[in-house]
Structure 1
Amino acid sequence: MGDMGGDQVSEAVAGSAALLRTVSGRDWDGVKAGRLEWSCRETAVHVCSDLIAYAGQLAGRATKAYVPFEITVEDGTDNAGVVDVLETTGALLAATVRTTPRDVRAFHPYPFRSANREGFAAMGVAEVLLHTHDIAEGLGVPYEPDAALCEDVLTRIFPHVRPGPDHWRTLLWATGRGELPGRAPVTEWRWSNNLVIGSERLTLQGVNPAAAAELRAGGTGGFAWVEGGPFEGTRDAAGMVVKAYEAGVHRPEWGLFVLVRTEDGRAVGGMGFHGAPDEEGRAEVGYDLAEKARGNGYATEALRTLAGRALAHDDVKVLFAAVERDNTPSQGVISRAGFTRVGEDADGFAYELRGTDRSLVTPARQD
C-alpha cells in the first residue's frame, strides 16, 4: 500500500464529476442531500470549498489556523458549472499534494492540530466520496466508488475504526451514513490524522495502519530511513499496530511512532506502546534504533519526550518497559530517561516510570 496523494484525489473527483454531470439538469436546490440539512447544490459547493481550503492550508503552510478565505460560486452558475468548479478545486488540491514535501504539516483542528499531505489528500477524498453519496442519495441515483479509494481513506484517517469486508459500507457506517451487521449505529464521528510530537532533534511521527502494514511487509512505511533501517523491532511493532487496527482497538496516541531526524528527514528508529493504558493506568513502552543511528542519544531523547506526553494524561499512572538482560545499551537508555528498575527474571529486567517521577522527563512539543 503506497503513499496516498494527488492520484487518489484526482480519481475521486473524476468519479464524482462523471456522476454529477449525468444529473446536472435536475433540481439540486430543492432536494436535500441524503441525511444532511443542506440541499444537493449546497453540498456540492461545500465539497468545492473544502478542496480549495485544503489546498490553501498546504500551499500556505498554515500552522495556527485556517487561512481566512473562502470560495464563492458566481450568481447564475448552473449545476454543470458547479461541477466545473469541483473539477478545478480538485485539480488544485491534487497538484498541491503532489508538490508538497512529505514532512510539511499544516493546521487542521482535529484531533492533533495538524496534518501532512497524506492527511489532506485523505480528507479531500473523504469529502468527495461521502458528499457525492449524499447528493446521489438525495437524487435517487446509485453511486459506489472504488473499494481501494475507500480503504485508502479508512487506513489513513479512520485508524480507530475496525475494518469490515466491504470498505465502502464500512466508511459509510463510520460516518453515520449506514449500518453494519453487529455494530451499533454511529451518531457522532471524527476522522483522525496522525500525531506528530517534536523533540530537540527529532520528530516522533505516528504510524497509521496503512504505513504499519507496509512496514510489516518489509517496506519503508513511506519514510526515508538511514542505512540499515528499519530495525526488526520496528517491523514487529508495526505488526502490533495492524493487529490492533484489525481488531478495532487501535488508538493512535498509543501506537507506534517513527523517529525522524529533523536535520535531514531520515528515520532512525521506532518507539511506541504495546497498546492503550489498562484499567490501572499502566502502559508498556518499547523502542529500537537502526544500527547506524545508535550512540547519539536519540532513543533517550525520544523516550523522555514520549514519556512526558504520556504521563501528562490523568489516566496514566505508570509506564513499564522490559529490557533483555544482555542489552546493556537499552538498559542505559531506559535509566537515563528516568525509569527505575523494579524487577528481574531469567530473561531480563523490568523498569517503571511513575507519574510522580518526572524529574528527567522532557515535556513534549506537539507539532
Structure 2
Amino acid sequence: MRPMNGERVTEAVAGCVAALRPAVDRDWSTVPAAGLDWDCRATATHVADDLVSYAANLAGGARDAYVPFELTLDPGTDNAGLLHVIETTGALLAATVTTAPPGARAYHPYPFGSADREGMAAMGVAEVLLHTYDITRGLGLPYEPADDLADTVLNWLFPHVQPGPDAWPTLLWATGRGELPGRPPVTAWRWRNNLALPAERLTLTGVRPAAARDLRLGGDGGFDWLGSGPYEGTREAAGFLVKAYEAGLHRPEFGIFALVRAEDGRAVGGIGFHGPPDAYGRVEIGYDLVPEARGHGYATEAARALTAWALARDDVRTVIATVEPENIPSQRVLTRAGFRPATPEEEREARERHGMAEDLRLYVNEEQS
C-alpha cells in the first residue's frame, strides 16, 4: 500500500511548480483557467490557500468550522513569488500531516464533517493536481502527474468511483474534466473522506480501498494492531470491500471499520456491513476482535454504535446479524447491543427470501421510533 502522507504532498507541489515555472513571465491574470470561472493567477492563489487551510485545520484541531482566515498575497507579488508561496504552503501541510498523531481529525464538510491526516494530505494533493491541470491547460503547457499519485488520490478520496484502466484519466473523468469510454460525463462531483464513528472507548474508523487491499494481502492496512494483527474475519471483509470497489459498487459508509482504541490508538478488531441497505431497508453487520482484546466489551460497544448510526438513517429500517448456534459469546454481544433473537417466521423468511444458511441463527435490531 502506497501511503498518503506529507511526501505525497511534497511530490505533488514539486510537479506543480515544475509545470508552471516556464510561464512565470506571462500575465496569468488575463488567462482563464480551463473549465473554471477563475483566471490562472486566482486559481494558483486558491491552491496555496487550500494547502495552508488544510494545515491550519489539522494543526489547530478545528471541529465545527474552518479556522477563520484567508491567505492574501502581498501587493506586487509576481508569479515567481506565487510559486514560492505554493511551495511554502505545501511544505506547511506536509509537515503538519507528518507530525500529526495517528487518528487526529479536523473539520472538513464533505461528507461526514471531518478528515484525518491522510484525508487532509489527499485533499491537498487533489487540489494541486487538478488545479495545476486547469492552469496548464489555460496557459497551453504540458502537464501529467505520476499515475500512481493520481491512483492514491482515487483510493483515499474517491472510494465510490470504479477504477479505470489508468488513474489520471479516471481522476479527470471523476472530477468532470475528461471522458472515459463507456462512462457518462460527470457534471457534479464531491470527494469523500472516510467516516469515523466515536464510541465510548473506541473510534470506528472507515477503511479505505487502499487499506482494504493491504489487509486482504496480509498487511496492517496502516493501523497499529493489538497482538498478532487483524483477525481472519476482518481480512475476509476487506477482500469483499476491494471486490465491490473494483466493480464500482462500493458505498463507503456501508463498508468496514477498524476498531481503534482511544487510550492508545491501537486497532483491536473490525466491524462492518455486508453491503448497503436492500429494498427492504435491511443491512447486515459482522464483527470480530483480535484474541487479545476479547472479554472487554469492545464488540458490544462497536455493534451498538454502528447500529445506532445505521438506524438513524432514512434508508435503514432493520439491522440484522447472523451467528452460529454454538457461538454463545457472540449471541451475548448482540443481545447487549440491543438485538433480539428473530422469530421463527423471520428466520424462515430470511432463509427463503434472503438466502440465509440453515445452520445460522438470526438476530434483529429494528428502526427506533
TM-score bin, normalised by smaller chain? over 0.9
Q: Percent identity?
A: 63
Structure 1 residues without counterparts, runs of 5 or longer: 359-367
Deviation for aligned residue 1:346: 4.4
Look up the equivalent residue of 1:125 and give its one-letter code.
V
Give the corresponding residue for 1:49: 49
Check the 8 A contact 1:5/1:94 in 2, yes or no. Answer: yes
Q: Distance in 2 between matches of 1:299 and 1:146?
A: 41
Task: Give the equivalent residue in structure 1 for 2:217.
Answer: 217
Question: TM-score scaled to structure 2, two decimals?
Answer: 0.95
1:348 aligns with 2:360: yes
Q: CA RMSD in A?
A: 1.2
Do 2:2 and 2:152's aligned partners in 1 also have CA atoms closer than 8 Å?
A: no
> Given the alignment of the two structures, is residue 13 of structure 1 paired with residue 25 of structure 2, yes or no?
no
Alignment of 1:305-344 (within 5 A): 305-342=305-342, 343=347
**Residue 353 of structure 2: aligned partner:** none
Matches within 5 A, 1:91-102: 91-102=91-102
Q: Give SS of 2:63's match.
A: coil
Tell me the secondary structure at the aligned position of residue 243 of structure 1: helix
Distance in 2, Cα, partners of 1:234 & 1:80: 50
Q: CA deviation at 1:331?
A: 1.4
Partner of 1:106: 106
One-letter amino acid matched to 2:8:
Q
* Aligned counterparts of 1:351 and 1:142: Cα–Cα separation in 2: 58
Distance of 2:295 and 2:2 partners within structure 1: 32
Structure 2 counterparts to residues 297-312 of structure 1, below 5 A: 297-312=297-312
**1:205 match:** 205
Q: Distance in 2 between matches of 1:3 and 1:331?
A: 38
CA contact (8 A) 1:2 1:222 kept: no
SS at 2:29 equivalent = coil
Map 1:1-367 → 2, pairs under 5 A: 1-342=1-342, 343=347, 346-356=358-368
* Secondary structure at 2:320 match in 1: strand
Task: Pick which of 71-80 and 187-196 moved more.
Answer: 71-80
Q: Which runs of 4+ in 1 moved over 4 A?
A: none
**Mapped contact 1:256–1:271 kept (Cα < 8 A):** yes
Cα shift readout 1:128-150 (whole Å, capped 9, x = no counterpart): 00000000111112210000100
Contact 1:326 1:348 (8 Å CA) reproduced: no
Q: What secondary structure sits across from 2:154 in the alignment?
A: helix
Following the alignment from structure 1 to structure 2, what is the Cα–Cα distance between the partners of residues 201 and 38?
A: 46
Q: What is the rounded CA distance, in whole Å, between the counterparts of 1:292 and 1:84 in structure 2?
A: 50
TM-score normalised over the length of structure 1: 0.95
Structure 2: state its 5+ residue gaps: 349-356
Q: Could you tell me whether the CA contact under 8 Å between 2:51 and 2:90 is conserved in 1?
A: yes
